Structure 1
Amino acid sequence: MNWITNYVRPRINSIFSRREVPENLWQKCDECGTMLFHRELKDNLNVCTSCGHHMAISPRDRVEALFDGGIYAEISVPEPLADPLHFRDQKKYPDRMKTAQKNTGEKEAMLVATGEIGRTPIVVACQDFSFMGGSMGMYVGNAIIAAAEEAVKLKRPMVLFSAAGGARMQEGILSLMQMPRTTVAVQMLKEAGLPYIVVLTHPTTGGVTASYAMLGDVHIAEPNALICFAGPRVIEQTIREKLPEGFQRAEYLLDHGMLDRVTPRGQMREELITITRMLLGLPPAIRGDLPPPDPTEETVAEPVEKTAPADLDPKA
């Protein structure tokens, strides 16, 4: 044995047999710094298993976890003008759109779908903050109108998950016009007597908060979600005062009567099932895989013998 056998050959083997390890197997929690395995994190709906911090989750992952069996049908949304103002800052608006579509794999900042939760048919509109900050443009307005029209046509309640930084500046006044448009869409649901439930996620700010996000029959928020019009930093700079701890967070707004519930993501599905069935005047949902009972079928109870068998020990 010599130095070539002892050192050079093992070194060459280690270089050529080295396995590439993916970089996205672990994710660090922003709140507590715990390293979380990606499969464990996904199974827990992107909620930290150590501290309970709610991280961002994509609309498709959210609706797959929400609907029965992860089965849903996507509702088509009318396409708006691609670049109505020919807006350009550091990049052209179409270039920014292409970058966002490539990074997220989605067409726009809102996903509209229909399916069942607890065997209760609903329509869901889910906003994507990772797509240009979930900004409210013409497509988002069209998506909410399409969701409301589908809900009215099918006579189903509508659930909206909001997550946005406000209006989309690249569309200017056309973006701000989505505030009254979406308000009219919500009014359509109210006139049809259909429930409209809003789940406010982190963050929900700007023109979204000033329109459809705060017009629900029931408002639920995820823990520690930032919900506001102007952010706390802007307010502090304006009034030159220190704001209270947790100001504009979900728990603070719940204490001050702005919200009805603060519900962890893992319990959101059950909460929505209960609320939608209550608002629709339906009985509690059937748990498990058994089919629901037929309400038209009459059942007759058999008489029960009240006397115990002689060989049954009463002390057993």
Structure 2
Amino acid sequence: MIRDLFTKKKKYATIPSEQAKQEVPEGLMTKCPQCKSIIYFKELKKTLLVCDHCEYHHRLSSTERIEMTLDEGSFQEFDKNMVAKDPLNFPDYKEKSALDRKNTGLNEAVVTGSGTISGMEVIIGVMDPRFRMGSMGSVVGEKMCRAIKIAADERKPFIMFAASGGARMQEGVFSLMQMAKTSTALNLLHEKGILFISIMTHPTTGGVSASFASLGDINLAEPKALIGFAGRRIIEQTIRQKLPDDFQTSEFLLDHGQLDQVVPRKNMKSTLTNILEIHQTS
């Protein structure tokens, strides 16, 4: 036994037990989808969910987006309790929608309301990619149109954050009608000379990119966001050409005149403040 005290013991690498793995609190760390770095979630929140290593902009919930954009305590939500019907009796649609409501705490894929940015009153809409991938169905379109009408009646700027996979297939033509419905509603703002700022985030695709998301008086986007209508593979097969590597990114659209500015998340609120101040009316 005395010899054991002076004998160097060999150390072997061990694989953590399942119990040890479970002791690590859920949500403590996350992996960046772009550079694969492991990041403490607490540190990631300090940078507004932007990777310190590669500047990848992680997706935000509607709640996180509103907290980062509006002045603290200023948000007042509209039409919170609106819930989608199942007009086509689409298989499992009701069940999947109910599961999304449970998992997200939301009733639909967009949150609308009023608030202030640096003390200036605005009407805002924020799509949430956690709910049916932010797809636009009848309720999303209706909530947007109601918010636009309030903006028109109260003569307040309207700001929309898009994050969507497009029109909601489970509602068929009812979802496609929302493209025309929201676009027509936005014309109210145009006729009254009221500012509409559209901000496209990752991803903004399909019927959303082909309707209201592209109709802003000022169109902004976060860096490297996927923005487009049809998928890359479909387009390449249709035109029989190889597309650029950066095709359908924010930077590509900016270079080709379809965006006014690509704005990093840390600068978004200050950029919106500057735009709103320039367009302030007495």
Same fold (TM over 0.5): yes
Structure-1 residue corresponding to 2:32: 29
Structure-1 residue corresponding to 2:45: 42
Cα distance in 2 for residues equivalent to 1:19 and 1:147: 44
Task: Tell me the alpha carbon deviations over residues 133-178 of structure 1, each in whole angstroms, 9 at most, x when there is no partner.
Answer: 1111001101111111121222210000001111101101100110
What's the secondary structure of 1:143's corresponding residue?
Answer: helix
- Percentage of matched positions with identical amino acids: 44
Could you tell me which amino acid in structure 2 is paired with residue 87 of structure 1? F
Query: Over alpha carbons, which structure has the higher Rg?
Result: 1
Cα distance in 1 for residues equivalent to 2:104 and 2:241: 39
**What stretches of structure 1 of length at least 5 have no aligned partner?**
2-15, 283-316
Q: How many residues align?
A: 266
Structure-1 residue corresponding to 2:127: 127
What's the secondary structure of 1:123's corresponding residue?
Answer: strand
Displacement, 1:237?
Answer: 2.6
Structure-2 residue corresponding to 1:175: 175
What's the secondary structure of 1:68's corresponding residue?
Answer: coil
Q: Provide TM-score, normalisation by structure 1.
A: 0.80
Displacement, 1:278?
Answer: 1.0
**What stretches of structure 2 of length at least 5 have no aligned partner?**
2-18
2:266 corresponds to 1:266: yes
Displacement, 1:69?
Answer: 2.0
Q: Contact 1:223–1:251 (CA<8 Å) still a contact in 2?
A: yes
Task: Tell me the alpha carbon deviations over residues 22-75 of structure 1, each in whole angstroms, 9 at most, x when there is no partner.
Answer: 121001111111111111112221111121100100011111111112531111
Q: Tell me: CA distance 1:18–1:248, structure 2 relative to 1, closer, same or farther (3 Å).
A: closer
Cα distance in 1 for residues equivalent to 2:213 and 2:163: 9
Q: CA RMSD in A?
A: 2.1
Structure-2 residue corresponding to 1:74: 77
**Where does 1:193-212 land on structure 2 (aligned, <5 Å)?**
193-212=193-212
**Where does 1:1-316 land on structure 2 (aligned, <5 Å)?**
20-76=23-79, 79=82, 82-88=85-91, 92-281=92-281
Could you tell me which amino acid in structure 1 is paired with residue 178 of structure 2? Q
Q: Contact 1:163–1:201 (CA<8 Å) still a contact in 2?
A: yes
The structure whose RCO (Cα within 8 Å, separation 6+) is larger is 2
Cα distance in 1 for residues equivalent to 2:175 and 2:119: 36
Q: Provide TM-score, normalisation by structure 2.
A: 0.89
Q: Contact 2:77–2:113 (CA<8 Å) still a contact in 1?
A: yes
Structure-2 residue corresponding to 1:290: none
